[in-house]
Structure 1
Amino acid sequence: MLLDSHMFSSTKSSDTLSPDELRKRLYQTFKNKGVLDTLKTQLRNQLIQELKHPPLTGGEPVPRPVPVKSEPLLVSACNSMVADHLSTSGYEYTLSVFYPESGLCKEKIFTKEDLLHLLKINPTSALYRSLSSNKDNDKGMCSITFFF
């Protein structure tokens, strides 16, 4: 079925969207729902797989599924520490690649206090206070690993 181009033109009524407005809304929706990050990750993984294992025949390459796994708590905690290190070190580009590849988003990163709780460090202990103090904030969460 062909769509009339006037259906997408911007008019006085706010019921229709121009093609540009529709594109922007779709992009924002996909970005907010994590679809773009997932697609970027799948494309990167597929590219890496193709570079590692090029097809031996002259035929079309067979697409390999990219496994999507749920992250256990330990892996999520480690990924949070890596993301924090990249952020505090100013590696913004690397961080932008790491977020979608690790399945993290800024809202899902563990705080230093979260990590200390996961490690079952007593909040009243001197170790907890020294690790969570503001003087170490410029070091990020990586200062936690030096004690283990």
Structure 2
Amino acid sequence: MRFEVPQFIDVEDKIFGPLTFKQFAYVAGGVGFIVILYTMVGLVFAILLGSPMLILGLALAFFKVNNRPFSEMVRSFLLYATNRKLYLWKHQPKQVERKETQQEEPQERPALRTNTQSKLKDIAWSLDMKESMYENMEQVK
């Protein structure tokens, strides 16, 4: 049974023509703010007061900084502006727990076997015999 793996999951779907839903919402918010101001105070004041909101909406929709959306930059700025700026290192010393240990008497270790001179000679002789045995086999072939 085959499963299809989704691809391009980082790309948002285009819903309103060439715009994604977020882009459409940002642009519609900026234009909507100008329309509300137009109905309340007139065309000249609506353009003067609403143009910064329209520019903000367009920037949120289309502008990217370091390949990241402008909305992430605004979010990071607001978090930085509202949080504390002074970071203090509060060192908390570790609580050392002392365990009482019972000292055991050292046990006698068994003596290690050491290779004596005669043992080394025996090993050398057996190696020489194997080498000579293999040489003889090559000569027979």
TM-score, scaled relative to structure 2: 0.21
Q: Which has the higher helix share?
A: 1
Q: Which has the higher contact order (CA 8 A, sep 6+)?
A: 1
Q: Which has the higher strand share?
A: 2
TM-score, scaled relative to structure 1: 0.21
* Bigger radius of gyration among the two: 2
